[in-house]
Amino acid sequence: MNREDLQALRVPLLVLGITLLTAVLVVYFSGVMLDDAHATRTKREAQLRQARLQILHAGEEKERIVRYVGAYQRLARAGLVGEEQRINWLDSLRIANHEAQIFGVEYGIGAQKPYAYASEFDTGKLLLQESVMHLKFRLLHEEDLLRFFQALAHQGGGVFTQDQCQIRRQSTKDDKGVQFQTNLTAECDVRWITINPPAATEAKS
């Protein structure tokens, strides 16, 4: 091959080189675009799975709400869920005093604080709280105390537990001449219990 032949092949060789370079660039950028398309597809598939999970969880959450909303509303009406209903507590004391036919109730209510025995229950994010009410009353006999707490529980003014009671016999010399003589003095601590849902607790913080 002489110089004239090389001169004649100069243009075709240049065209071939450009063609090969173009082909290499096309293959390279096609691979890059293919990788981007694959990554985008993977991302879209992950987003689709996440959306499906959210829809599924939303359906399950709705089902739980529908299933338990009645029980939740009953607990709220009973005074267990939500804010303290101290006015209802006092109304319940008054009615229970009347129904049990005892001679008045003296009371004092402490500040609200975490329920002393909350660790015995698996309450999750629910906050169990209590307010201790100290009661003092005069009785004709021990059965009056049982009737009082039965009447108090039937009022639906809240949920409580009877913590402790002390009953002492008292002198009746000051009651001479009255129709009924009170023979006993009782002092009891009652824990009024409430449950604060997480939303209510977070709103206060």
Which region among 33-42, 101-110, 129-138, 148-157 has the lowest average model confidence (pLDDT)?
33-42
pTM over 0.85: no
Question: What is the band of 93 on the pLDDT scale with cuts at 50, 70, 90?
Answer: very high
CATH topology of domain 86-204: Alpha-Beta Plaits (3.30.70)
Q: Which of 119, 169, 165, 120 is nearest to 140 (CA)?
A: 169
In angstroms, the CA 27 to CA 24 distance is 5
3-state secondary structure of 200: helix
3-state secondary structure of 77: helix
CB count in 10 Å sphere of residue 135: 20
3-state secondary structure of 24: helix
Question: 163 or 148: which carries more pLDDT confidence?
Answer: 148
The pLDDT value given to residue 8? 63
In angstroms, the CA 167 to CA 182 distance is 12
Which region among 22-26, 62-66, 132-136, 150-154 has the lowest average model confidence (pLDDT)?
62-66
The pLDDT value given to residue 136? 93
Q: Is the pLDDT of residue 99 over 60?
A: yes
The pLDDT value given to residue 201? 46
| Ranges of each domain in the chain | 1-77, 86-204
Question: 82 or 186: which carries more pLDDT confidence?
Answer: 186
Q: Is the pLDDT of residue 199 over 80?
A: no
Read off the pLDDT of residues 51-74 as tens digits, 9 standing for 90 and up. 888 777 777 767 776 776 777 777
- For the chain, the average pLDDT equals 80
